[in-house]
Structure formats: C-alpha cells, structure tokens
Amino acid sequence: MRDRPKPDWYQWWMTSADRTSTASVTSPVAPGSSPGDLFQLLLDGTPRTRAELAQLTGLARSTIAARVEALMESGLISAVGEATSSGGRPPSRFAFDPSARAVLAVDLGAMHAVVAITDLAGRVLLRRRTDLAIASGPTTVLDTVVAEARQLLEVLQLTAGDLAGVGIGLPGPVEHTSGRPANPPIMPGWHGFDVPSYIRRSFDVTVLVDNDVNIMALGEQRMHWPSHDNLLFIKVSTGIGAGIIGNGQLQRGALGAAGDLGHVRVGRGGDVLCRCGNVGCLEALAGAPAIAAGLTGTNAHGSDDLVKLAEAGDVATIAALRQAGRDLGEVLATCVSLLNPSVIVLGGALSSAGDHVLAGAREVVYARSLPLATSQLTIARALSSTDASSDDAGVIGASMMVTQHVLSAAAIEDLLVPRTREPVTP
C-alpha cells in the first residue's frame, strides 16, 4: 500500500476557502452528494477506495463508481496504488492529482513582474522575474505577461489548454468582482481596464485579479502561517497597505478597499501633505519616498537606497526607519484592537531593511494595545522576504486565489457537466 502524506496546503484549503467571493459558488451541501462534493473529499490528497468513499458519503457503490469515473476522465483524480484486500483483486485507491492542470500566477509590482506556472497545489513549477514598469500601461504590461507565460509553458512542455486559470496581483486597488483596477495612483491608464477580458483573448480560462497586498497575504499565510486564521499582512514600501485574513478568509470589504492603511492619519502627521490630497497620512511619513526625503546629506530616493544605507549602518537612516516603524505601530495598535490578529507579518521592500521598522512597530503595538490582544500576538518579518524565494508569496497567493475558485464544488460540477449549467465566470 502506498499512502501519500497529507499535503500541508490541505489545512489551509479547508479553513480559508474563499468561496463567498464568487457568485457562482453555491451554499454547502452534504459532503459527497454531487461529483463536485465528492471531489472536495478527495482534495485532502488521501487515497481512498470506492468502498471507503461510499462509507464516507452514504452513497451507493454504483453512484460512487460513476462519479469516480467522471473525475478520473477529467484527470483531476488518479489511481494511486492499491488497498490491501482480503482476497481476489485488490481495490484501487484514488486521490486528487495536483499535476492535472496548471495555473498562470502573476505578481505585478510598480517596477517588476513575476510570472510563474504552478500546479493545482500552488507549487511553483517555473517562474521568471523581469523589470517592467506598471506605468507603461495595461496593454504593454499584459502583452509582456502573456509572452512570458507562453515561454514558460513551452519550457514546461505545456499548452494554454493545460491552464485551469490565471491569477494576477496588481499594485493598486482592484474591484475584485470585475477584475478592474479602481483609481490606482501609480498605474496611469489602468483605471477601469477590463484585465480579465484582455487576458482571455490569449488564455480563455477563469481570470481573477486582486491587489498585490491581498495575494501576498494569501501566499504568506499559505506558506508560513497555515494554522493562523487571523493574520494581518502589511506591505511597507513606496506605499503602505494591509491584506486582512479573518476567520481564514481574505477580507476585501464592500468594494475591495479594506486594508488601505497608508492614508490613516497619524499623530506625528501635522500638516504634512500626502499625494492623496489629505494631510498627516501614514504614507506621507513612513512610506519610502517620505523617509528618504527626510534624510539630509544622502541621495536616497526609495526603498532600495534606504535598505543599502541601513545595511551600511547609517545611523540617521536607521533612526528614520525606526521612527517610521513607530508611526506604523500607531496604526497597527488600532488594527489589533479592532481585529485581534494572532500574527502581524511585515513584508514589502522596507521590511528587509534590517529589523528597524519591525522594532519600531513592536515598540508601539505592545505599549498601546491591551494585554489580552497582545498576549498571543506575534509580529514578524515576512518569511518569504528573507530567502531566495522572496518573490514567491505573490505568485503563490495568486495561484491559491485561482484554485480556491476553480476547484470549488460548483466549478467542478461545471467542468464535468458543461452543457447542463452556465459556465463559471468570476
């Protein structure tokens, strides 16, 4: 008997399935009562026989046999070894096969693109990072992404037909239901652009779009904090934003603007003018350009310069980063009171400037929050920003956003019975 270990993403999948964000997903029904539900049982990767599935679901053996056959034909499950038998031919076991399809996962930043192909379990099969200015506009950027994706598929000897879906993270606010950016400040020409339709001209599959902080929150939780259902991911870079995971689900808010912390007023803000037109915003004090502008005698402009100066031990830069951390901590203390997270993860370029921002944030959060809220609270640097796979949180999050949707019971139903239901659209 050959049992596959339960994959670590299973717990994450079961607890944080973001099924409510998609209109096509139906309310939960009795486990195993449809082929899609039967597939949900097999998603844990544990190989099971038809008899075991019949026992688990209470369905007739003949019904199970027909559904297993349909799922086998789709390639989403495969036979994985044989069970022990009391005599005669041993019964086959079946399990979810994450290699059945691939996902195109894209993380777009202000000045870079990470394009990756993953399997259905979010494992990165191949990735490439390129310099690409988001300000060059949606058609230029998305054409480059499509060209990169085709090259990666070719290297992997896959075709567009192998894709289950496309997930894209953008460095600005996105209306998640339509996949259209909404007044993104650093993305000229992108406002209202129909990203899913444009991508579907090349890859005719489900295309889901979200802001980069949300997908980084998903990826970071999936990779490093799978047992934490209440996590705040903070990106500290040119801008400052948060991805909120509450009760295992990404919280986007009514219009997708949840977590936009950069424009919360902070005590030290005074009448400092922010690019949003308001005064005293967190970003106008603790964003990388603001910190750099406050340093005299350096040529620092952005995150990269600040990281270099901090690494070189420049005392003024270190002090400025620590103060930025305190300003951030002031806003985070409010978040802690409101949301009671068990983990706050600091990511983004400035989080890798030593632990100075982290130290400042900790200082204020622990001083200003009530003991119950901080007794189990961890404030940590994003783990995915400390190793060679530093770009992977974004693409893994983008991949998970897609698989949560395309592997849901309703989507599997549509896949298996395409002519009796409306096609799944995000």
Mark residues 280-319: x for contact with Zn ion by CB under 5 A, - for none: -x--------------------------------------
Which of 43, 105, 250, 274 binds Zn ion (CB under 5 A)? It is: 274
Contact range with Zn ion by CB under 5 A, out of 125-133, 160-168, 170-178, 273-281? 273-281
Pick the closer one to Zn ion by CB: 260 or 413.
260
Does 336 bind Zn ion (CB under 5 A)? Our answer is no
- How far apart are the C-alpha atoms of 121 and 13, rounded to whole Å? 10
- How far apart are the C-alpha atoms of 189 and 364, rounded to whole Å? 39
Report the nearest approach of Zn ion to the CB of residue 296 (Å): 24
Report the nearest approach of Zn ion to the CB of residue 284 (Å): 6
Pick the closer one to Zn ion by CB: 262 or 348.
262
Which of 263, 356, 362, 405 binds Zn ion (CB under 5 A)? It is: 263
Report the nearest approach of Zn ion to the CB of residue 311 (Å): 29
The C-alpha angle with vertex 376 and arms to 374 and 377, in degrees rounded to 5, equals 55
Report the nearest approach of Zn ion to the CB of residue 157 (Å): 48
Contact range with Zn ion by CB under 5 A, out of 15-23, 220-228, 276-284, 355-363? 276-284
Contact range with Zn ion by CB under 5 A, out of 194-202, 270-278, 325-333, 366-374? 270-278
Which of 276, 319, 338, 370 binds Zn ion (CB under 5 A)? It is: 276
How is residue 231 written in tokens?
A: 């996590």
Report the nearest approach of Zn ion to the CB of residue 276 (Å): 3
Contact range with Zn ion by CB under 5 A, out of 218-226, 247-255, 263-271, 398-406? 263-271
Mark residues 154-193: x for contact with Zn ion by CB under 5 A, - for none: ----------------------------------------
**Sign of the CA dihedral running 183, 188, 194, 199:** negative
Residues in the interface with Zn ion (CB under 5 A) total 5
- How far apart are the C-alpha atoms of 311 and 320, rounded to whole Å? 14
Determine the straight-line distance between the first and last CA of the chain, rounded to whole angstroms: 40
Region of 159 (left: φ > 0; alpha: ψ -120 to 50; beta: rest) is beta
How is residue 240 written in tokens?
A: 């400052």
Pick the closer one to Zn ion by CB: 167 or 172.
172
- How far apart are the C-alpha atoms of 385 and 354, rounded to whole Å? 12
DSSP 92-127: EEEEE-GGGSEEEEEEE-SSEEEEEEEETT--EEEE
Q: How many CB atoms lie within 10 A of CB 256?
A: 19
Burial 382-411 (b: 16+ CB within 10 A, else e): bbbbeeeebbbbbbbbbbbbbbbbbbbbbb
Residues that bind Zn ion (CB under 5 A): 263, 274, 276, 278, 281
